Structure 1
Amino acid sequence: MIKLIAIDLDGTLLHEDKTLSKGNIEALHRAHEAGYDIVICTGRPLAGVRPIFEEIGLPDGNYYMIINNGCTTLSTKNWEIIGKEELSLEDMHRLHVLTEDTDVQLTLFDIDHYLVVAPEASELVTMDAGIVNSKPTLVSEEDLPNLVPIFQAMYVGDPSAIDDFQAQNEAALEADFNTVRSQDILFEILPKGASKASALQALSQTLGYRRDQVMALGDANNDLEMLRFAGYSVAMGNGNAAVKEIADFITLTNDEDGVAHAIHKLIETEKGE
């Protein structure tokens, strides 16, 4: 029996226009009423998640969410951090040096801010920050000791620039970090061992759930480890080929309320409702 449902946001719970549908909201409430723990599990920072959680409008209580691609786990009671992985100052210096003579910018995330280590944010950085309800905060390396903990880094650039940057640097970075190409304009760098899967595993253990009691839904490369961990994995109909290949079930697309479809199917199968 499933006890916990872990749900990605972009490309999964959210429609392509980044909105929540009435159908998905109603399905989440139905799942909660049926006794399932609902856990948002996303690459977004808190500023891009909290408004969505509040719009879902689950009854008062203590819920959990995994953000920053698994680097930060929060309890919604007082928005307390209950689990975290962070980058060191040495890590951030190394990551910043790699941007010299390139067309990519290094962005960093603490609990509240979308930071860019540059004198000016690019249009792509500004656009990406806007998607997660943020504005880029310009910082220099000298500012970073006053901003720790920093949980996650992300290189942002146009697809061809990120292609070149990834080709040149990924092999060396993978020795000391977890890396993921989550979108064509984003190349993400996480502390070694950090992922949605590692955070979901730790949270499941805290709550007393086995992996076979976890269902996870996702669509992209940064969901792969989480889907492999879950006892029952659901790929979105709009998901990429790698996600669909490992999934136990392929639901409808995000624009067709694929999350709601999968939740209703789960409840009908397990609860007979």
Structure 2
Amino acid sequence: MSPADFVADLFNPDLAFLGKALLIAVMSATVCGVVGCYVVLRGMAFIGDAVAHAVFPGLAVAFVVSGNLVLGGTVAGVVTAVLVAVFAQNRRLKEDSVIGVFFVAAFALGIVVISRAPGYAGSLQQFLFGSITGIPDEDVYVVGGTGLVILLAILLLHKEFVAVSLDRESARAMGLRVFWLDLALYVLVTLAVVISVRTIGNVLVLALLVTPAAAARLLTDRLAVMMVLAPAIGGLGALVGLYISWSWDFPVGGTIVLVLTGAFLAAWLAAPRHGLLARHVL
């Protein structure tokens, strides 16, 4: 399929779901690209994956009772994050051990809950691997509105997030409430995950958080530039991935992830200062 044919399909009234899927995919990837910069800077990839698992029971409950998926996923993610923060106060257990216990338990709870819903197999596949079909109009507004809230919160807390990311002890000495800033970032990561699940799925959503930001990290030493490059890479990857998926009938979530992985590998190889070629030339 040529790009012109793809554009024609986007404006085809009989394929309205395709345009909505593109909007949601690009918006989700853009927001995840911004949030992912903090995830990469702080080495939080495991936490990002854990949050993706933690929102699942909330999504499952919301789906079963026909409630709001964003609200359900957010509540589940925040509750699990608070539990981790509380139990991690015990110095005999490292934080990653507590995270491993609670977030996997949350994911298992989600599977049990959704198994009670009619059409269990199809519903589970939709949550785990994403789906571009049957996206209601309200999902576009929910993703757009939630994305704006996330970006506004980041704009307001950017300096504090950077201070905590660079040096937690210095941030505490400056009087910053590190615990509450951590919790705020967990909430933003949770929201970013929830709005991305419908298109790319719960299993693959970590790629939207980490891969574009990791590629941007290789391309620049400046945080401001990184926070522009990461959402640009994510949004473009979502567009290209959806085009390839639609053209060759590939799974949309997996295709987007592979496109983003290709962008990361290209940055790893050809980044001006930190790429493999540059290091060998210098």
Q: Please indicate, yes or no, whether the TM-score normalized by the shorter chain is above 0.5.
A: no
TM-score, normalization by structure 2: 0.29
TM-score, normalization by structure 1: 0.29
Give 1 or 2: higher helix fraction. 2
The structure showing larger relative contact order (alpha-carbon pairs under 8 Å, at least 6 residues apart) is 2
In our comparison, the structure showing a higher alpha carbon Rg is: 2
